[in-house]
Amino acid sequence: MAYVLEEITPEDQQKIIDDADPYKKSLLIYAQKNGSFAKDWAVNRERNHYLIMAPTMMREDSGVPPYYIFTEGRMYLIRRDGWWGYRFFFDEKNLPPQEEMLRVQRETELAFRCHGSYGKRPDSEIIAEINFFIPPR
């Protein structure tokens, strides 16, 4: 089964919260309570993999939303380097193991092809190819 773009139901929200580590869980619960939880997700229900826009507690410096990819039982935070670019990076505190990095990157690309930048919004940009990089410190 491939990724499909679906609206996130309250049951889906709870599943996403349950899948998260304690820090991400607190952000997701906050988003759920204040109505800012992602509205749509790219989901592969057969494999239990998905991509959502991640909630933020405050305005991001770049204004570019972060994302969560859930694959093989782990949730990773992904950031985008600018609005119009296709350069992405994993949060350095939550990197995939080196032996899993390429697989997680490929899975992320498949999910973004379905989700685009913003999910179902009419202005959603389809992302056909992404490039991962290590940001400067």
CA distance 126 to 89: 18
Whether 88 is covered by a domain: the verdict is yes
Q: Band of the pLDDT at 132, cuts 50, 70, 90?
A: low
Residue 70 located in a structural domain = yes
In this model, does residue 131 exceed pLDDT 70?
A: no
pLDDT of residue 122: 45
Q: What is the pLDDT of residue 107?
A: 92
Asked whether the predicted pLDDT for residue 87 surpasses 90, the reply is: no
Mean pLDDT of 107-133: 71
Assigned domain for 73 exists: yes
Question: Does 137 fall in a domain?
Answer: no
Domain count, the chain: 1
* Domain assignment of residue 83, given as a range: 4-132
Percent pLDDT > 70 in the chain is 79
Strand order across the 49-53 sheet: 4-7, 40-44, 49-53, 67-71, 74-80, 87-90, 131-132
Q: What pLDDT, on a 0 to 100 scale, did the predictor assign at position 120?
A: 67
Angle between helices 10-19 and 22-34 (to 10 degrees): 160
Round to whole Å and give the CA distance between 9 and 129.
28
- pTM strictly above 0.75: yes
Residue 111 parent element (H or E): helix 101-115
Residue 26 lies in a domain: yes
